[in-house]
Amino acid sequence: MNTFTPSLRALLVEDNPADADLVIESAGFEVHRTVNFEVEEDLASALTAIQKNPPDIVLLDLGLPDSQGIPTFEKLHQAYPDIPVIVLTGNHDTNLAIKCIELGAQDFLAKGKTEHFISGAIHNTVARARTQRALNESRRNLQGMIEDSPDAILVLDKSHYVLFANEVASHLLGEQADIGQSIQIPLAENTLQEFEIRPPDSPPAIVEVRMGNTSWYGAPAYILTLTDITNRRQTEKEKERLLAAIEQIEDTVIVIHLDGTIEYVNPAFKKTSGYDPEDILGQSISQLFGDEEHPEMFAQLQETLKAGKVWRGRIEQKCKNGTSYTVESTISPVSGQDGKLINFVAVNRDITDHLRIQNEKNTLQEQLVQSQKLESVGRLAAGIAHDFNNMLSVILGYAQIIQCRIKKDTPLYNEVKHIEDAAQRSAVLTRQLLAFSRRQTLQMSATELNKIVLGIEPMLRRVIAENIELKFKLTSSTTRVIVDPAQMEQVIMNLVVNAKDAMPRGGIILIESKLIEVDKAYTKWQPDLPIGHYVQLVITDNGCGISPDLIENIFEPFFTTKEVGDGTGLGLSMVYGIIKQCEGSIQAYSEMGRGTAFKIFLPLSCEESLPEITTPTLLPPQSEKQYHILVVEDEKFIRNLMATLIPQMGHQVTVASSGREALRLIEDQKFIPDLLITDVVMPNMSGIDLIAQARKLIPNLKYLYMSGYTDHSIATHGTLEPGSPFIHKPFTLSELTTKVEELTSA
């Protein structure tokens, strides 16, 4: 059995039960399926029932016991204006019903004629009422939204007169926003405009204006929206000023996302690093870090930033061409208005030049201190030697007198002879002290250094062991220098003996000579040498080497690396003094397990006119063709120096700090250099191994070795193939240019 549950409630207000039954019966079956009728006999009861449970519709008779005519409708409508009312009238009350409709009734029905109309009237009335109610609610919501909007909203007629304005509009426009006023702003439809206006009793404001078409109570109209963008524009101007400042400062500014990718760099970044913004934006910040890893520093950096604090420190970074530079960095966390971290900003100042200058000052200061120390020790040694020589003179004199007074075959004669021999050996020590202090008298003359070397060769071969091979590589050019030949023999002998002692299991000693020109650039390698022409004498061994912490002390008197009793510690100090007295210089270059090279520089003395030595302002003429050169060097100072010199020669340069980094450039980035210049001795991978692997990838690769050892000493020691392209550190600009031209043009 089907049952129907009415969905509408209708209140019938009728004092005549017969008329009430008639209305309900005439509604028919279809109405009863959807409408449930309730009946009240007077207005007061009807109002009470409505208050308790409002119906969907009221059917109202105007003639009730407690109210008659139009006031009956007015009382109910005023009390419940949202409930739809159908007025029930007699045949003679049509005008009265129409009047009620004008006052707000939804419809009217004549009693006795409802059977054909009541169903449609009830449903239409309820539908209209519900629609109107929803419309009213929507309008109230819309008006509330308009009133609560931070923007000024106005409705204008087509002549730009105000039909509606919210409170914000009244604040911005004052009297112009009053109903009926004309807006005095040049407006354009569907166009975003910007104006400056002057609100009453307020500073000028910048507004963004939009105007579009709408309708207002069925008539065409405009809706006008004014957004106050004064604060936005001020913020934008502040950002522009801030950005202009960031774009023009010399320090680099980097904005970093929380995931470590780079979001922004200022123009100074390109000047410092060589990277264009498009090269680096979106890349990881780790791409900029140098090869020297400092896990403790980076861990402390991350911990500081996670705590919301500012980190300050020094970081080594890499340029696009592979060179490194040092920055003084300040990295700050940046939070949004909600306090949440949004990114980091790093402000970096390049202090590479400052550090280089400071290092040069420190080096010069150390050299000055060392020189002053040696000078002080020399003065002390000279004084001691002078007084000691006086005492030795007395000892030797009396020993010889005693020898003259006794027979040679007596025991006493031999004992006195021992005294004389000991005094003679002591005299040798005093001469060594005088040599170090540069107080000895030298017999200076212009002498060919090669002749001194060759003249002492037989003696050198007698003092070295059979398991040591002595080799020579002497220049064919003149090697005339102003020296004391005997003292130079002593210098060479001392250095060869030291080399022999460093090779107890045998090895090779190589003696080389060549001419070099010291120019302004060369003095960066050898700051104690004046500009000029020199003869360089190099004595190299492949012995045990000298540790870095000892090599700076080797020229000090009585300093020795030998066992107790094996040496006086005066040999190298004597060598140092003799070379300095000849206005020359001596340096030691050594690596543990590989050997030592002593380099002596003596001013060249020639009767023939020498090429004029000038401080060059320009490098030798640049090559007509530009080459791309890859330099591999583990020493940062030399790496950066090469990155500066080679471009001035007219070539492009890329640098790498290790053999592995160079191979990554060739393999991963498909980099094919025109020339590869590499240091021979490097950590992890030597220059020899690098060239071997690189030539597997690039069979025709041209290369050049460089080292503090000479090429012949390295070749002799089995490290370098004889005839390999080689340049000896330190080298002059002319030497480097010549080598590059020779190799690239071959």
CB 630 within 8 A of CB 546: no
Angle at 716 between CA 715 and CA 718, to 5 degrees: 65
The partner residues of 227 in beta bridges, in order of sequence, read 208
pLDDT top residue among 29 and 591 = 591
| Amino acid of residue 458 | P
Q: Is the pLDDT of residue 222 over 60?
A: yes
pLDDT single digits (tens) 224-276? 889 888 888 888 888 888 888 888 888 888 888 888 888 888 888 888 888 88
Q: Is the pLDDT of residue 611 over 70?
A: no
What is the pLDDT at residue 608?
A: 44
Span 456-464, mean pLDDT? 87
Neighbour order of strands in the sheet with 726-728: 652-656, 628-632, 675-679, 703-707, 726-728
Span 319-348, mean pLDDT? 86
pLDDT band at 430 (very low <50, low <70, confident <90, very high): low
Rounded to whole angstroms, the Cα distance separating 596 from 587 reads 11
pLDDT top residue among 8 and 179 = 179
Round the average pLDDT of the chain to a whole number and report it: 80
The DSSP bridge pattern shows strands 532-541 and 595-603 to be antiparallel
pLDDT band at 635 (very low <50, low <70, confident <90, very high): confident
pLDDT band at 663 (very low <50, low <70, confident <90, very high): very high
**Helix/strand number for the chain, H first, E second:** 23, 29
What is the pLDDT at residue 364?
A: 63
Q: Is the pLDDT of residue 607 over 80?
A: no
Dihedral (Cα; 635, 637, 643, 648), 10-degree rounding = -140
What is the pLDDT at residue 377?
A: 60
Q: Is the pLDDT of residue 432 over 50?
A: yes
Look at the block and give the residue holding tokens 């590059």: 740
Q: SS3 of 181, please?
A: coil
Of 45-59, 68-82, 308-322, 393-407, the least confident: 393-407
Of 182-186, 211-215, 453-457, 488-492, the least confident: 182-186
Percent of the chain with pLDDT over 70: 79
pLDDT single digits (tens) 34-87? 778 899 999 999 999 999 999 888 989 888 999 988 898 899 999 998 888 888
What is the pLDDT at residue 702?
A: 94
Q: Is the pLDDT of residue 458 over 90?
A: no
pLDDT single digits (tens) 671-707? 999 999 998 888 889 899 999 999 999 999 999 998 7
DSSP H or E segment with residue 676: strand 675-679
pLDDT top residue among 482 and 357 = 482
CA distances to 202, 351, 556, 653, 668 from 319, in Å: 54, 14, 42, 12, 18
Q: Is the dihedral angle over the CA atoms 270, 273, 278, 280 positive or is it negative? A: negative
What is the pLDDT at residue 737?
A: 85
Q: Is the pLDDT of residue 539 over 90?
A: yes
Of 51-55, 374-378, 613-617, 656-660, the least confident: 613-617
pLDDT band at 610 (very low <50, low <70, confident <90, very high): very low
Span 533-551, mean pLDDT? 89
pLDDT band at 614 (very low <50, low <70, confident <90, very high): very low
Q: Is the pLDDT of residue 731 over 70?
A: no
Q: Is the pLDDT of residue 563 over 70?
A: no
Rounded to whole angstroms, the Cα distance separating 251 from 267 reads 9
pLDDT top residue among 579 and 288 = 579
The partner residues of 337 in beta bridges, in order of sequence, read none
Rounded to whole angstroms, the Cα distance separating 653 from 632 reads 11
Q: What is the pTM of this model?
A: 0.43
What is the pLDDT at residue 362?
A: 72
Q: Where are the beta strands (DSSP E) in 144-281?
A: 152-156, 162-165, 193-197, 205-216, 219-228, 252-257, 262-265
pLDDT top residue among 666 and 297 = 666
What is the pLDDT at residue 175?
A: 84
Rounded to whole angstroms, the Cα distance separating 653 from 321 reads 7
CA distances to 98, 130, 504 from 14, in Å: 19, 24, 137
Q: Residues near 198 by Cβ (< 8 Å), separated by ≥ 6?
A: 204, 205
pLDDT band at 664 (very low <50, low <70, confident <90, very high): very high
CA distances to 8, 41, 106, 127, 569 from 32, in Å: 10, 21, 21, 17, 130
Span 699-720, mean pLDDT? 69
Rounded to whole angstroms, the Cα distance separating 635 from 708 reads 12
Q: Where are the beta strands (DSSP E) in 502-556?
A: 507-518, 532-541
CB 153 within 8 A of CB 171: no
Alpha helices in 104-229 (DSSP H): 118-148, 167-173
CB 683 within 8 A of CB 657: no
What is the pLDDT at residue 214?
A: 87
pLDDT band at 134 (very low <50, low <70, confident <90, very high): low
Q: Is the pLDDT of residue 118 over 50?
A: yes
Longest dimension (CA), the chain: 184
pLDDT single digits (tens) 280-302? 888 888 777 765 556 777 778 77
Q: Is the pLDDT of residue 143 over 80?
A: no
CB 60 within 8 A of CB 87: yes
Of 110-114, 159-163, 378-382, 399-403, the least confident: 378-382
pLDDT single digits (tens) 476-523? 988 999 988 878 888 998 899 889 988 988 999 999 999 988 887 777
Rounded to whole angstroms, the Cα distance separating 548 from 563 reads 19
The partner residues of 654 in beta bridges, in order of sequence, read 630
What is the pLDDT at residue 369?
A: 61
What is the pLDDT at residue 609?
A: 38
The partner residues of 514 in beta bridges, in order of sequence, read 536
pLDDT band at 603 (very low <50, low <70, confident <90, very high): very high
Span 426-437, mean pLDDT? 58
Q: Is the pLDDT of residue 441 over 70?
A: no
What is the pLDDT at residue 120?
A: 67
Span 109-121, mean pLDDT? 65
CB 510 within 8 A of CB 494: no
Q: Is the pLDDT of residue 401 over 50?
A: yes
Exposure string over 374-391, b if 16+ CB within 10 A, otherwise e: beebbeebbeebeebeee
Span 591-617, mean pLDDT? 69
Angle at 199 between CA 195 and CA 201, to 5 degrees: 150
What is the pLDDT at residue 378?
A: 57
Of 194-208, 440-454, 634-648, 718-732, the least confident: 718-732
Measured N-to-C along each axis, helices 43-52 and 70-79 cross at an angle, to the nearest 10 degrees, of 20
Span 629-646, mean pLDDT? 83
Please count the CA atoms within 13 angstroms of the CA of 318 that sit on its side-chain side.
18
What letter does residue 517 receive in the DSSP assignment? Answer: E
